[in-house]
Amino acid sequence: MIIPRAEHNISRKDITPTALKVLYRLQEAGFDAYLVGGGVRDLLLGLHPKDFDVATNAHPEQVRKIFSNSRLIGRRFRIVHVFFGRDIVEVTTFRKGLLDEEHADHQQSEHGVMLRDNVFGTIEEDAVRRDFTVNALYYNIADFSVVDFTNGMQDLKHRIVRLIGEPEVRFREDPVRMLRAVRFAAKLGFELDPAISQAIPKMHALLDHISKARLFDEWVKILMSCHACKAFELLLQHGLLEDLLPSIPKLWHHSANAEALAKAALENTDERLKTGKSINPAFMLAVLYWPIFLEYQKKFEQKGMHKSIAFEHAISEAIQTALKDMSIPRRFTTNMREIWGLQRRFNAHPNKRLLDIPLLPRFRAGYDFLLLRASLDPSLKPLAEWWTAFYEATPEMRHGLLKTKPKKT
């Protein structure tokens, strides 16, 4: 289906100048050039995407020759990144579908997970090999039409996340599509196609064969979606949270406080992102695994360990638990340690060493974590209020406030 300019709402003024520049230069060089994917989907929904991907019949080496400010990347399939200062426009060549078995360059693992996908194709073949219908819409710079090979426009209208092809086949090709389906449903406020909901219980175990590093990347995308709270609800509803973060659902089943703490943090994360503020994934990790840390701490103290030693041992054990769930980069586990460590320092006896705490690099994250805990635990409110006053006071006033610090809780 070709939807002419007069019948859709996409305007070039809503497309970044860098993406337009790439489209026009490819066209001027004699190639087809289309915007594709989430950028087209979001424009049609009246949203304002910041990133746009380009699809073309030009091969990567040909794109590279057109743009001196570009670089070839990727092993499985070569793509081109075109750089405009800090802005990057990703350019991909049309590919054949994943189920084209006649090509030697197409290989899968014994579990059906894609290993190589390096066969160029037509725009029709490129559309069919994409994951969801709403992500397979093409904006043609030649005539400003939208090209739809998979009834994606209908699914946008009816607000449905639908896979292209049979869900069981597509999930076997790439199990991460189950997580992506939930992320898009939460982000867009769409319903999952019943066929997806029915396939997930049969296929979710395939996520065990996905690298923990890739699972972490997908978790970060969920967290940064501005709709992480809804996404976590859907993950829990469809049994996917157990595959993404195995330790967390078990914890939530036994601790309502752990689930409430996580949901409060997720809501706060969504609000921060919607208002243009930044977040650090380490903060959410610290929230999710804090109850596990507390369990370890209690266990070590019951064994007769000194509180300070039990605290450090508990941190290490909780981080090891997190690392079994996902491959978390060290910079994030370091931040988790610092955020947790500050909770102990916030509770310390008043002395002059407290004056240095607001100067620590991770103070703000630790302080926000204390406020989050206090919002659910009334016994922590006096401590949180004191630290708020201490944080906002001038250096001179802080000396006097030391005498008013609440006793340990």
Residues serving a catalytic function are 51, 53, 131
Distance from C-alpha of 363 to C-alpha of 339, rounded to nearest angstrom: 8
**Following DSSP, what letter does each residue of 70-137 receive, concatenated?**
EEEE-SSS-EEEEEETTEEEEEEE-B--TT-TT-TT-EE-TTS-EEE---B--HHHHHHTSSBGGG-E
Residue for token digits 């609800």?
233
- Alpha helices (runs of H) in 67-193, residue ranges in sequence order: 123-128, 152-158, 167-173, 176-188
Task: Give the containing element (helix H, strand E) for 163.
Answer: none
Q: Which CA distances in Å does 33 have to 29, 117, 135, 223, 255?
A: 10, 21, 16, 32, 53
Distance from C-alpha of 300 to C-alpha of 384, rounded to nearest angstrom: 27
Relative orientation angle of helices 212-223 and 228-237, to the nearest 10 degrees:
130
Q: Six-digit token pair at 392?
A: 């906002």
> Is 168 buried (19+), middle (13-18) or exposed (0-12) by CB count in 10 A?
middle
Distance from C-alpha of 26 to C-alpha of 91, rounded to nearest angstrom: 10
Q: What is the CA radius of gyration of the chain?
A: 25
Q: Six-digit token pair at 37?
A: 């994917």
Taking alpha carbons only, the member of 218, 134, 133, 137 closest to residue 183 is 218
* HSE value, Cβ hemisphere, 13 Å, CA-based, for 377: 15
Distance from C-alpha of 138 to C-alpha of 118, rounded to nearest angstrom: 21
Residue pair 24/141 in contact (Cβ under 8 Å)? The answer is: yes
Q: How far apart, in Å, do the first and last CA atoms of the chain sit?
A: 66
What three-state secondary structure class fits 81? strand
